[in-house]
Structure 1
Amino acid sequence: MLGFPAGKPRHASLRSRALRAKLLGFPSGQPPPQLASLVGSTPPGVSNVAGAALWTLDYLLSAAQVGISRIFFHQGIGFKYNLIQPVTLTRSKVDGSPLQTPLPPHVQPQYYAAVIAAEAIGPKGNTRISELSIGDGRVAGYAFYEGSKLSRAVIINSLAFFKGSSAGSRQSVHVNLSFAGGSYGAPKSITVKRLDIPHADDETGLTWGGVTYESADARPRGTANVTTVNVANGFDIRATEAVLVTFNN
């Protein structure tokens, strides 16, 4: 059960406290130094795979809700933890060996995290974010308020679902929503948009609301796919998946 305090963003998790401790010493709103998901350009199968998109999204939103104004991700030509590969590569990202066929510029999985974070924050400039208290260490949630109005939420299920696992073994969590009182009242319905990830260790194949950015020019391709759900019914979120919930008042 996720409870949304109407108009009262607050911090409510051990993870947010740990992040505040880690960032202790930085003035309010000042960004920390550049970072990446793992030191040393990372071994293959960590930062260059789909599961890293969930880590990046969770990190971005967790930092935002403690007042960090921006995050600098370490990037470079051929780095495995890039959000994008900006130029054609003639050597392997994995082991540096020469490629028989050059690899054109392309989007990598973590790019989707930036797209989702931007969409969740929105364009109005008055958005506030609050981490939600969830009784499951594998699931994170963030609520977004425009002024005092609850507008959106992001829910992330970080339980890993790997290649080689049977489709029937993919776990899911059912999310029920509850709302405190407020001048806007509880929404009548919600729109759910999903980051679909076939497996946590896939390097490609992600779609955001039915749309892929893994095209030759990195422009979105595909047909948008979102679902409208009655609030009382809640929704399921699968292992290795993130959803953006938009509240329809």
Structure 2
Amino acid sequence: MKGSRIAITTFALITGFSDAVPTATVELSIPPKPPAGHLTVDANYQSYSIEFSYMNDYAGNNTHPNKFSHELLQNLEDISGALPIIRAGGTTSNRATYYPNQTDGVILIYNHGTWEDQPDAMSIGPNWHQSFRQFPKGTKYIYNLNFYDGQAGLKQTVLEASAAWDALGESIYAFEIGNEPNGWAGTSRRPANWTRQDYVAQWKQFAKAIAANTSLPEPRFQGCAFTAPRNLSRSPVVWNVANVLQDGLAEGGYLATVADHDYMGANQAPLPTLAKNLLDHFHMTSLFRYHEALGNQTKALGIDYVIGETNSISKQGTANVSDVFGAALWGIDYVLYSAGTNVSRMYFHMGTPYRYSAWQPIIINGTAPFAKPLYYGNLFTAKALAGGNKQVVGLVNTTSLTAYGIYSTSKLESVAVVNLEEFNATMSVSRRNRTVFRLPSSAGDWSKATVRRLTAPGVDTKENITFAGQHVDASGRIVGTEKTEGVLEDKVSVTAGEAVLISL
């Protein structure tokens, strides 16, 4: 998605900042309507993926429902008009075994000590499904099934799927079969000679068996759930979603969507940084080009493409990168950029102890549940896409400044501006650069527009974050009086490390 050309000038603006601070003016060019055939997205375009083993922590059960998570999801519905779809999946879904006679909902097995990021194995029983009834009424789920090999594996997957469908029925939006199977050949999960074509044949065998043993309407499967795509070759040995569709994955009528996963880096040496991995717009777009290409290819083949698991940094995030305000700004830029391509939905992954989670669902080491910075970015995009039926067009596309026009029924409804320039809480506020965006009068009557500002003391902070003057309290509620701003002389200013939503 390419942004328009922009004009930038610098001058000194005296608004409580030092007059030595250079301030840029950006002249926005806003098209009257989106391009023909541009993707239209739902209000819950931004949804969530919860690590399978931690669904009980996030949702609770009949006797101990998680009211904090419930409140945070309800906030998003109240703002956007739609509940996020919840994918319960991830690596631990590959380690799960369903036992119909197990009385405990879930048993987690850790071989390396308590509070490792993930259990090494898990078993689930019928009471496990209670967790899928605790979120706000109407919540839909993608249920990531195990994908053990052979006839015994097929029997176990069908057993797990049948039990879930019997318990949850139409609240299941889709089933996934296995997590990131494109990396399984030569591991304990599959032999070294297991090919992409073998995957397609086995996936269809499992999907057919599940459908035959349930009253599952078709199509009701999300295929692939592959690791980040980095190869678009049509070679028969290259795994990507377009290639498996060419191999016949959609044959049989079971497939609704295909999914890839992605992150902006990995939590390993050399460690990712906030500046390079999250606050650099072009780092994100350099990775996203694969999704754009695959989204276009799968659309041409008649199947919707989603980013089914994503967040800032893989391996559960990097401290002081994934869990600070800069991640909220990155999340806004990431979602809105994606919404302007043929990616039909995206799911932000989280787990109880994960650094990149949007919220901590339970008490950990004496710290009560709380909304993390990323959640504030999620509130912003929920407001931007509220009501659904939205089309998003890139307006500014630079390393640290981005802007997006958001349209409803081809009419401009709002403009989102993200300033990714790094400003830390330890810096002098007098040195916080400010950029002024000049809005074209031809695009609307800006004198009647409302501005909502997402801000914090710095991109490195974890606290004192507000969206339109409000914050999330210890119960998960949005509190405080909403503070909005107007547009003066068709201009809006955005300081380093802030985002604004300008609504007509």
Question: Into which bin does the TM-score normalised by the smaller protein fall?
Answer: 0.7 to 0.9
Aligned counterparts, 1:146-161, within 5 A:
146-161=408-423
> Is 2:331 the partner of 1:56?
yes
Partner of 1:118: 382
> Is 2:404 the partner of 1:109?
no
Whose strand fraction is larger, Structure 1's or Structure 2's? 1
Deviations 1:52-76 (A, max 9, x none): 1001111111111102222122210
Partner of 1:99: none
Please tell me whether the aligned partners of residues 6 and 179 of structure 1 are also in contact (alpha carbons under 8 angstroms).
no
> Is 2:130 the partner of 1:130?
no
Indicate how the Cα distance of structure 1 residues 69 and 138 shifts in structure 2: closer, same or farther if over 3 A, else same: same
Aligned counterparts, 1:17-96, within 5 A:
19-26=288-295, 27-28=298-299, 29-90=304-365
1:228 shift after superposition: 1.4
Q: Distance in 1 between matches of 2:476 and 2:354?
A: 18
Code of the aligned partner of 1:6: P
Q: Distance in 2 between matches of 1:16 and 1:65?
A: 12
> Is 2:487 the partner of 1:229?
yes
Code of the aligned partner of 1:44: A
Indicate how the Cα distance of structure 1 residues 36 and 144 shifts in structure 2: closer, same or farther if over 3 A, else same: same
Indicate how the Cα distance of structure 1 residues 16 and 80 shifts in structure 2: closer, same or farther if over 3 A, else same: closer
Q: Distance in 2 between matches of 1:104 and 1:34?
A: 26
Deviations 1:11-58 (A, max 9, x none): 9x9776862334433423411241220122233210011111001111
Deviations 1:126-152 (A, max 9, x none): 211111135x43111111111121110
* Structure 1: unaligned runs, 5 residues or longer: 91-101
* Structure 2: unaligned runs, 5 residues or longer: 1-26, 39-280
Task: Please state whether the residue corresponding to 1:78 is helix, strand or coil.
Answer: coil
Q: Distance in 2 between matches of 1:20 and 1:56?
A: 17
> Is 2:475 the partner of 1:217?
yes
Partner of 1:193: 452
Whose helix fraction is larger, Structure 1's or Structure 2's? 2
| Higher RCO, 1 vs 2 (CA within 8 Å, ≥6 residues apart) | 1
Task: Please state whether the residue corresponding to 1:113 is helix, strand or coil.
Answer: helix
Work out the number of aligned pairs and report it.
Answer: 227
Task: Please state whether the residue corresponding to 2:403 is helix, strand or coil.
Answer: strand
1:198 shift after superposition: 0.9
1:85 shift after superposition: 0.7
Structure index of larger Rg: 2
Task: Compare 72-81 and 18-27 and name the one that shifted more.
Answer: 18-27
Partner of 1:174: 436
Partner of 2:462: 203
What is the aligned-residue identity percentage?
Answer: 28
Q: Distance in 2 between matches of 1:148 and 1:225?
A: 29
Deviations 1:85-142 (A, max 9, x none): 111112xxxxxxxxxxx1111100000111111111121x3211111135x4311111
Please tell me whether the aligned partners of residues 5 and 179 of structure 1 are also in contact (alpha carbons under 8 angstroms).
no
Relative to the length of structure 2, the TM-score reads 0.43
RMSD: 2.2
Q: Quick one: which of 236, 239, 242 aligns to 2:499?
A: 242
